[in-house]
Amino acid sequence: CAKELQQVPLSTATTVTFYQQPSDFIQAINAVYNSLRNYPSRLMFLSEIRSDNIYPTNTVGRDPDPINNFAPGIASNTYVEEAWTADFNGIFKANVVIEQVAKNAAFVGSAALANRLTAEAKFLRAFFYFDLVRYYGKVPVIDHVVSDAEARTIKRGTVAEVYALIIADLQFAVANLPANYSGTFPSYSATDVGRATKYAAEAVLAQVYMARSGPNYGIEGPGLGLNEWNQAATLLTDIIGSGAYTFNPNFANIFSYTNQNPTTNKESVFSIMFLTGLNPVLGTDFPWQLVPNSYFSSLPTGNTPANGALGVPSVSTNLVNAYATNDARKSPTIHTTAFTFTGTTDANPFFRKYLDTTKIPASRFDWGINFIAVRYTDVLLLKAECVLNGAAGNQATDVDAVANQVRSRAGLLPIAGVTKAQLLDERRREFAAEGSRWFDLQRSGNLVTIMNAWIATEDAALKKMNQATANSVIYPVPQSQMDAAPGLYTQNPGYQ
Amino acid sequence: KVTDESGAGIPDVTVSVKGTTSKTTTAGDGSFSINATGANVSLVFEHVNFGTKTVAATGNTVTVSLSRAEKQLDEVVVVGYGTQKRGSVTGAVSTLKNENLEERAITRVDQALVGQLAGVTVKQNTGVPGKAFSIQVRGSGSISGGNEPLYVLDGFPLSVNSSNTTNGSFSTGNPLDNINPNDIESIEVLKDAAAAAIYGSRASNGVVLITTKRGKIGKMSLNFNTYAGYNQAAKKLEMMNGDQWIEHATEIINAQYLAKYGSAGATINDNQAQRLARNGGAFDANYILDPRWTMPGHPGLAFIDWQDAIERKGKMQNYEISASGGTDAVRYFVSGNYANQESFVIGVGYKAYSMRANIELNASKRLKFGLNVAPTYSITQDPGIDGKDAIFHQALSLAPVQEDTMGLYPNYGKNGQYVWSSTTNSPLGKLTTNVGTTKRYRTVASLYGELQVVKGLSFRSSVNLDNTDNISNGYTSYLTAGTLAARTFTGANNLLAATSGSYNSYRRQTFVNENTLTYSNTFATDHSLNVLVGYSYNFDRLDRVTMSSNGGFTSAVIQTLNAAAAVTGNTTSSQSVLLSAFSRLQYGFQDKYLLSASIRRDGSSRFGANSQYGVFPSLSAAWVISKEAFMKNARVFSYLKLRASYGVNGNNNLGNDYASISTIGSAGYITGTTPGAVIGQAPNVIANPDLKWEKSKTYDIGLDFGLLNNRITGSIEYYNKLNSDLLLNVPVLAVTGFASSLNNIGSVRNIGQELTLTSKNTTGKFEWSTSVNITHNKNRIVALGPGQTQIIIPNGFTVSDQILKVGEQLNSIYVLKVIGFLSAKDLASGVAKYGSGQAEGDFKFEDYNGDGVITEADKQIVGHPNPDYTYGITNTFRYKGFDLNVLVQGQTGGSIYSQLGRAITRPGQGRSDNHPASFVNRWKSPTDQGEGRFGKAYSTYNSPITAATDWLYSSDYIRVRNITLGYNLKDGLKMRFVQGARLYLTLENFFGHDKYINGLNPEAANTAVSSNSAYPESGDYGGMPLAKSFIIGLNITF
């Protein structure tokens, strides 16, 4: 009779019963990709809003404001909380896959599939960790599924320890992930488009080496002041040399709703995939996170599902002015014309890079556009940056030629002898609204100077900003985590 | 001579000489004579109303006084797994006898408990007939787990409500569903830990033992009972009438018009043409008035009182026939009942058909078999009356001014909406067109056998099955949905796309096998002993099916889902097993010193793998002081008993059969050249193999007393109950992959006092007796998660309004405090404001943290939902053939935070929705600040809506729950075959008063307010009022 006390759920699987056949493990890895879904919106809040691209001209007491104005008390901010919890949830799910594949190898079907799944899981684990280390610096290193009790014994690892796991994972991924989607099961076939490839892993690993090569600002942040530009350049060269990706001559087309699939959009080295109209929702909300709600209301068709956000901070004057008048990137990136709704005219510019008002979905959380997390143009420009920092290559072919290819697409005249500062500015115009700016500033070593110079002019009238300091380079550990196990984690300096 | 308390003789008392067969009965004046010889002769007096008393005969004349209280002490009280004499009870047990239950217009057993027992708080959450009430025994001690007691029906422990009542309803059934109150013989509530501990891990919230009627040896008695009457709303919320609404709408529209065009020179005296011109020629009801409002007689407009429009006098009727009787070999009780209650709201109603057979056979002198079986069927009609955006809320909110061409059917069928009103579809149209039917078929059956092994030792075994099949089908016609444009066929739009339907069912099964061995004996006259050991097996299963239309219907006439354009469906199942061993020892010395101890060990599949077994001990003792020699002369105290108990109980109502297990949940993604969804599956719950029952430890001290020859009897009770190991979602470190984990942590203490008093005020020809029960309960959160001092209950609508805070009552109301209205002077002096839009005549909030602005951080605790005191008073009068019974019941000290306020009294509400009539007493100017509850009408600051004390009301109420006047026809009838006949008239819930000024039912719960089911908070979003009913009935016994 006592056996009867061992009841198992009749309508849900459990961690004990679920992992039985190859498709179960594939479903398990799919769930890890699911944790990428908030990545683009997070970039809007924690990278764009934090940077000199966005200024809160007309907002009052909204959630992103303290992120924008360098307030010290942001440990409880929703976005600061979200990044930590969502990334660690992704890491947990990746660890589940790695452990279950190892434990139940007999059920996975083939060693090749087991290898692929482990490589995907390790890629994603590294991707989440790289996100974490750039936002928070030191974080706990969790390479296996941990219980509540065990979690309470694991302190924040050093940045070097975090990177060690990231690099090991990405090296495994580079060695074991398929290069493209033209194989047959258990390699990637046409139905796998969107999964991480070898080149995605190389690109992220290159970014990791570059981030480590950035200066440390005297804090325990993502920069370690190492000189790994060469390692990064080698990986980027491999991607470029593969011929798998092409430079799209039409800037606006890169973000078009009709050119978003990674198989047609050769700018996409790695995309976060979204599709509208499904139940449960698998679309996204990032295209309107920095768009005012009233803009949608002002559209002739009206705005039934209430898209856009309230109290959106606007694109900074400094960024608007950073584009030459004839820069072909300006109009697809920033909406600068005023709109009127219920008698109120709003002239504040906002990002519209991924916005298409003919594609408004039935639910505002269900926009059907992929987000390009690693863009081929970025691969080219990152390589140029490595060369400028001393990696093998030359100024004319590896730096100037690349920068001018980008400038030419934007309708701008070529320049010669491109400097690091010019490259940083070009990146700002090219990748505005793609969440790259804060990390570019981190890596440049000039984050604090650039931000404070910008504050001095942009904020001269309204005086809404605090000064940026080295501590502002990273975010505080979320308050929920400080509270859940008091004394376990120490807070980053500069935060309450 | 035998007399009663007043000295009047009692006829028909059986008098016998102990140890002999000689017997006699008393005459009309109570006198008797009997032959007895020898020393130490004892006479035994027995009477059906006065119990039994044994008296030593001294001399030739014996005068004995019997009191009804003697009978009470001898009364058999049902306790877990057995019965006890009232006088031997050591725990806190309350009893409700079926006195005039069948003469009341009630359809449920829980309804019968309202106001009857100290420590038992019964809340009527809804006015929909047939729906379950919420019952709490001695307060609530659980935050995330259940707070409802365990029900045991004729020894059969029914399934505990498995789901939390997040919105005040029991979505997968309530143990008292379909149980016919007319079949009830008595209800015992085991309140303290000692009395309840024999039910172990399910006893923490108290145990309610229900005993149904059974046959007694004797001639068959046939009873026919019927009543008929009507019911009406017990309360009406006066809303603004047409003229008041027009005045308010005019004020709002003018203010909006001025705000938009005032700077361009607009004035409120502009006529329609001028306003149109300013608005670019476009009509906009926000800026333009209806010219008919100011015309005499308002041509073309209908003024409607929507409550009157949807209400009626609902007819009620009930027929019951029962037969009972028995011989030495067979005892039986069979009954059939039909009840039909039309609600006072059109389209709402309840019908119940119930049957019962309780049969007991003596197979031999030592072997007995019994069968209880009760098949029942009920039908509830409710097209969606209660809750947010449900019909009653809409009837309150809808503008009282409509086009008279549409009348009561605005925005219904071919009618559009009145432009200045809202898009609400006619409430009456919905009630008459839409369908919400719940059909429930339930059978509770028990088969048992009892064998007397040797004298004093008996073995009993039972098998019990409770099966409920519940089917709910819903249908919403396109006629009652959307806008006129969507209902107008244009060739492109499919009208029927707006039609929807659903068909949901569940089957709940409880199977219980119990085996007990009881030894009962008295040694050397003074020592009585009762020992029980038992073992039980308990199996619960719930199977659910949900189906609903997805994409409209293909037919306008077919309401079943075969006509749905697409159907989505789902089935889920869940089950649990409970294995228990238990034992109890009761010992009494001279019926003076009483001791009882029990222990139960429960193993439950619901608990985590590491903690599947729990042990629940209890100990209680009683001392009958009045039996001591030194009390013989204490004339005042005719009876005095002191009781004390301690026990540990559990609450296994975790809300989920598998809460400890790490389950897998969906998390999909998109891949592919042709992008498509791929299934993703990952663990969605953190495993907790240590998860176990919530624990309660209760101390209880009670004093039972009888005063003035038991003319006044009663008891006083004190208890202190600490619920610990509460199920709480505790924050865990995110590195685990999760934000929270369900743990046994946190504790809540309930302390309370109870007083029960029965007094025979007058006896004799005119009898008047009064029963009073008063309960005081106070709970305090002692601890939450580690380092946690508060949990703000997340709100599904706007901003939170309840908090769980250490040191405070559960679910304390936590809002901004309104301290008046902002004056021009306040604004000039920079008083703290909420946001930037607050202006003169808006609420002035208390800046609780003194930081100069009003934010969520300025919230404070202003009340709690649980009442401090609940009480019930029953007065019974008898004179000749008449009897009158009056039950008054109420509560004080609690508060209701009205979610309905959000719908009908929110600041800046706008023109279309209606306000309560008292809204005319709003702030109108600095010199006319009205009654102080409502700020100015045109207010623009409110986004998001604040949670403030303007929606806070006292939940105090007092109700005359029941008045029954009966007349005994027997004397007038003079028909030999009629044994008894009564005519009665009952007023149920007819009079009352409450302080929920802008609401209808201070106990209403119909809407889930919390957005997290781990911290349930239900609120009133405009639930229908309770019914008051008037019935006339006849009860004949043959």
Burial of residue B976 (CB within 10 Å: 0-12, 13-18, 19+) is exposed
B677·A486 Cβ contact <8 A: no
Q: Which residue of B has its CA nearest to A23?
A: B679
B736·A146 Cβ contact <8 A: yes
Q: In angstroms, how far is the first alpha carbon of chain A from the final one?
A: 56
**Per-residue confidence at B1014, pLDDT binned at 50, 70, 90?**
confident
Report the share of chain B in percent with pLDDT over 70: 95
Q: State residue B94's pLDDT score.
A: 86
Q: Specify the CATH number for B2-66; select among 1.10.150, 2.60.40, 3.40.630, 3.40.50.
A: 2.60.40
**Per-residue confidence at B844, pLDDT binned at 50, 70, 90?**
very high
What gap in Å lies between CA B207 and CA B582, rounded to an integer? 16
pLDDT digits (tens, 9 = 90+) for B250-282: 999 999 888 888 888 888 899 889 998 888 888
A191·B672 Cβ contact <8 A: yes
Q: Is B280 on the interface with A (CB under 8 A)?
A: no
pLDDT digits (tens, 9 = 90+) for A118-150: 999 999 999 999 999 999 999 999 999 998 889
Q: Which residue of B has its CA nearest to A13?
A: B664
Stronger pLDDT, A127 or B855, i.e. the higher one: A127
What gap in Å lies between CA B77 and CA B70, rounded to an integer? 14
- Which of B84-93, B245-254, B896-905 shows the lowest mean pLDDT across its residues? B84-93
Segment 714-733 of chain B within 8 Å of chain A by CB: 731-733
Q: State residue B49's pLDDT score.
A: 60
Q: Could you give the C-alpha distances from A9 to A14, B467, B557, B606, B918, in angstroms and in order?
A: 8, 21, 41, 10, 53
Contact B185, B213 (CB under 8 A): yes
Average pLDDT over residues B674-695: 91
Q: State residue B489's pLDDT score.
A: 77
Q: Which residue of A has its CA nearest to B259?
A: A343
Segment 263-282 of chain A within 8 Å of chain B by CB: 263, 273-275, 278, 280, 282
Which one of A1, A26, A147 has the shortest CB-CB distance to B537? A1
A484·B732 Cβ contact <8 A: yes
What gap in Å lies between CA B458 and CA B443, rounded to an integer? 29
Going from N- to C-terminal start, the domains of chain B cover: 2-66, 242-304
Whether B70 shows a pLDDT value over 60: the answer reads: no
pLDDT digits (tens, 9 = 90+) for B510-567: 999 999 999 999 888 889 999 999 999 999 999 999 999 988 898 889 999 999 988 9
A96·B682 Cβ contact <8 A: yes
B546, B681, B693, B745: best to mutate for the A interface, most A CBs within 10 A: B681
Q: SS3 of A154, please?
A: coil
A34·B731 Cβ contact <8 A: no
User: Which is it for the CA torsion B625, B630, B632, B636, positive or negative?
Assistant: negative
The whole-chain average pLDDT of chain B stands at: 88
Contact B155, B83 (CB under 8 A): no
φ/ψ region of B930 (left if φ > 0, alpha if ψ in -120 to 50, else beta) reads left
Which one of B663, B667, B735 has the shortest CB-CB distance to A12? B663
Segment 806-865 of chain B within 8 Å of chain A by CB: 835-836
pLDDT digits (tens, 9 = 90+) for B687-725: 888 999 999 999 999 999 988 888 899 999 999 999 999
What gap in Å lies between CA A354 and CA A281, rounded to an integer? 19
Q: How far is A188 from chain B (nearest CA, A)?
A: 10
What gap in Å lies between CA A61 and CA A68, rounded to an integer? 11
Secondary structure letter of residue A253 according to DSSP: G
A9·B657 Cβ contact <8 A: yes
A146·B673 Cβ contact <8 A: no
A5·B737 Cβ contact <8 A: no
Q: Which residue of B has its CA nearest to A343?
A: B260
pLDDT digits (tens, 9 = 90+) for B467-515: 999 999 999 999 998 888 878 877 766 778 889 999 999 999 999 999 9
Within 8 A by CB and 6+ apart from B640, the residues are B624, B625, B626, B631, B703, B704, B705, B706
Q: Which CATH class is domain A20-284+372-484?
A: mainly alpha
Q: Any idea which residue has 């069912």 for tokens? A: B505
Q: State residue B498's pLDDT score.
A: 86
Q: How far is B143 from chain A (nearest CA, A)?
A: 20
Contact B164, B1016 (CB under 8 A): yes
Do β-strands B150-153 and B207-212 pair in parallel, antiparallel, or remain unpaired? parallel
Residue B77 has a CB neighbour count (10 Å cut-off) of 21
Q: State residue A486's pLDDT score.
A: 86
Which one of A5, A151, A194 has the shortest CB-CB distance to B736? A151
**Averaged pLDDT, groups of 10, chain A, 496 residues long:** 83 90 95 96 95 83 80 87 95 96 92 96 98 97 92 95 97 96 93 96 97 94 95 96 94 94 93 92 93 84 67 90 94 91 81 92 91 97 96 93 95 94 96 96 95 94 89 94 90 89
Q: In angstroms, how far is the first alpha carbon of chain B from the final one?
A: 33
A5·B577 Cβ contact <8 A: yes
Stronger pLDDT, A62 or B996, i.e. the higher one: B996
Which one of A14, A34, A92 has the shortest CB-CB distance to B680? A34
Q: Is B739 on the interface with A (CB under 8 A)?
A: yes
Do β-strands B401-403 and B156-157 pair in parallel, antiparallel, or remain unpaired? unpaired
**Per-residue confidence at B162, pLDDT binned at 50, 70, 90?**
low
What gap in Å lies between CA B908 and CA B940, rounded to an integer? 6
Q: Choose the most confident range, by mean pLDDT, from A64-68, A306-310, B367-371, B938-942.
A: B367-371
Structure-token pair, residue A170: 């990405």
Going from N- to C-terminal start, the domains of chain A cover: 20-284+372-484
- Which of A207-216, B88-97, B217-226, B470-479 shows the lowest mean pLDDT across its residues? B88-97
Segment 220-279 of chain B within 8 Å of chain A by CB: 260
Instruction: Tell me the chain B residues in contact with residue A8 when contact means C-beta distances shorter than 8 Å.
Output: 658, 661
**Per-residue confidence at B918, pLDDT binned at 50, 70, 90?**
very high
Whether B459 shows a pLDDT value over 80: the answer reads: yes
Q: Is A194 on the interface with B (CB under 8 A)?
A: yes
Segment 325-364 of chain B within 8 Å of chain A by CB: none
Q: SS3 of B974, please?
A: coil
What gap in Å lies between CA B838 and CA B923, rounded to an integer? 14
A274·B670 Cβ contact <8 A: yes
What gap in Å lies between CA B632 and CA B626, rounded to an integer? 7
Which one of A24, A275, A478 has the shortest CB-CB distance to B670? A275
Segment 132-171 of chain A within 8 Å of chain B by CB: 140, 142, 145-148, 151-152, 154
B664, B740, B790: best to mutate for the A interface, most A CBs within 10 A: B664
